[in-house]
Each structure stands twice: as C-alpha cells, then as structure tokens.
Amino acid sequence: MELLQDLLTTFNFIVQGLWVTISVTAVALTVGLALGITMAIVRVYGHPALQTAVSVYSVVIRATPVIVIIFILFFVISRYINLSPFWAGALALGFASGAYQTEIFRGAIQAVQPGQMIAARAIGMSRLQAIQSIVLPQALRLALPSWGNEATLVLKDSTLVFAVGVPEILRRAQQVSARTFEPFLAFGVALLLYLALTLITTQALQRLERRYRLQV
C-alpha cells in the first residue's frame, strides 16, 4: 500500500514533465521535417553550389553532438537573439534532426525511379510541378518507416534540453530520485512514460503507413 502511495506521488511529480517533453519533441520534429524535406530536394535537384552547402550542413551537424548544438544556441547565439532555454533546446534538436531527416528524404527521393521525372517533364510538367505532384508523394510514403525511427530518437534526445535548465521527464525523475533515494521507482516511472510515448508515436505512424501505402 505504501509502495502504491509512493508510486502515485512519484508519478504525479514526474508526469508534469510530460508536456515539456512532448512540446520539445514536437517542435524539433516539425523544424526537422521542414528542413529535411527542403534540403533533400535541394540535395537531389538543386544547383550544385546549393547541393554542396546542404552536404556541408548535413555532415557538420551530424558530426556535432546535439548537446553542443544546444550550448551554441543557448550560450552563443542567444547573445544576439533572445532565445529562452525552451526554444534554444527545441530548435537545436530541430536543426540536428533536420540533418538526419535530410538524409532520410534524400534516400526516399532517390528511390523514386528517375524515369518518372523524365516522363513528367516529357508531358510538359515543370521541374517544380514534377517534384510536387509526382516525386514527393511517393518519396514521402517511402520515407515514413525511417521517419518513424527518427521520431523515437528525437523523443529520447529531448532529455538533453535539461542541459540548459528545461525540466523534462528525465530531470524530474532525477529530482525525485535525489529526494527519495529510490532511483528504481523514479526512473521506472520515466521509462514507462517514454514507453507510452514511443508506443503512441509508432502506432500512429504505422496507421499512416497503412493508409498511404503504395498500391503496386
């Protein structure tokens, strides 16, 4: 009974970080999605100079630990632009995820047979039209499984934003653990919350996958 009571208090405390974790992840995934799709298109169809620029971004960002990107945004960039800890953390995760998502979408775009682009051009579509209505609809479907994987990775990377003082689920678990000296209970609750979030995300994405599956 006492254990149940402990569990309940611990849960009630840690769950207050749930919304923070969800918002950080949502912002990061959205920013990453916008960056990823745009840069993937540039990477495949853009001007050579732009292609190089995107490659550099992708290589440098993927080589940089996410925590370093967070520190750069919070301690260096926010000297010029006033960024709150939340936005510094969420945007840093978004920029990082953008690099990974670029590679996901690039692979997906390249998986659409080049003949389709040529055919679309032959019937008089502009390149932009062809990308928009022929290539992307297929590429996005192909990208879904890997994108789902990236989403769960970003969810767990969201724990890093505590480095600049944003109290998400894991930090709240640490706080409880420090107070009650019951790490298993505290981190167990954190695990359950992450598990629930991951299950919900993957289920939702699987539904999307089924719905938009290519009819071959």
Partner 1 sequence: MKKQMLIILALIAAMLAIGACGGAPAAQPTQPPAQPTQPPAQPEGKLAQIRAVGKLIVGTSADYPPYESIDASGNFVGFDMDLIRAVGENLGVEVEIRDMPFDSLIASLQEGKIDAVIAAMQATAERDEKVDFTIPYRKTKDAFIGAGDTTIIMTKPEDAAGLIIGAQTGTVQEGWIQKTLVATGLTPADKVFSYERADQAALDLASGRVQLVLMDAEPALELAKQNGLKVLLVTETTAEGGKSIAIPEGSSDLKAELDRIIQGLIDDGTVKALEEKHGLP
Cα–Cα distance for residue pair 60/83, rounded to 1 Å: 23
For partner 1, the binding residue among 59, 153, 192, 199 (CB under 8 A) is: 59
Tell me how long the chain is. Answer: 216
Are 155 and 198 contacting, i.e. CB atoms less than 8 angstroms apart?
yes
For partner 1, the binding residue among 79, 82, 211, 215 (CB under 8 A) is: 79
| 55 forms part of the interface with partner 1 (CB under 8 A) | yes
| 76 forms part of the interface with partner 1 (CB under 8 A) | yes
Of residues 172-191, which lie at the interface with partner 1 (CB under 8 A)?
174-175, 177-179
* Nearest approach, Cβ of residue 9 and partner 1 (Å): 5
Secondary structure (3-state) at 167: coil
* Nearest approach, Cβ of residue 163 and partner 1 (Å): 6
| 133 forms part of the interface with partner 1 (CB under 8 A) | no
Which among 88, 111, 102, 121 is positioned nearest to 42, based on CA atoms? 102
* Nearest approach, Cβ of residue 166 and partner 1 (Å): 9
Of residues 90-119, which lie at the interface with partner 1 (CB under 8 A)?
none
Q: Which is nearer to partner 1, 38 or 55 (CB)?
A: 55
For partner 1, the binding residue among 56, 111, 192, 204 (CB under 8 A) is: 56
| 136 forms part of the interface with partner 1 (CB under 8 A) | no
| 171 forms part of the interface with partner 1 (CB under 8 A) | yes
Which among 72, 28, 60 is positioned nearest to 164, based on CA atoms? 72
Are 17 and 190 contacting, i.e. CB atoms less than 8 angstroms apart?
no
* Total Cβ atoms within 10 A of residue 38: 16
Q: In the chain, which ranges are continuous DSSP H helix?
A: 2-14, 18-45, 48-63, 66-71, 85-111, 114-122, 127-130, 136-157, 169-180, 183-211
For partner 1, the binding residue among 19, 34, 50, 52 (CB under 8 A) is: 52
Residues 6 or more apart in contact with residue 7 via CB below 8 angstroms:
185, 189
For partner 1, the binding residue among 30, 34, 50, 60 (CB under 8 A) is: 60
Site residues, partner 1 (CB under 8 A): 9, 12-13, 16, 52-53, 55-56, 59-60, 71, 74-76, 79, 162-165, 167, 171, 174-175, 177-179
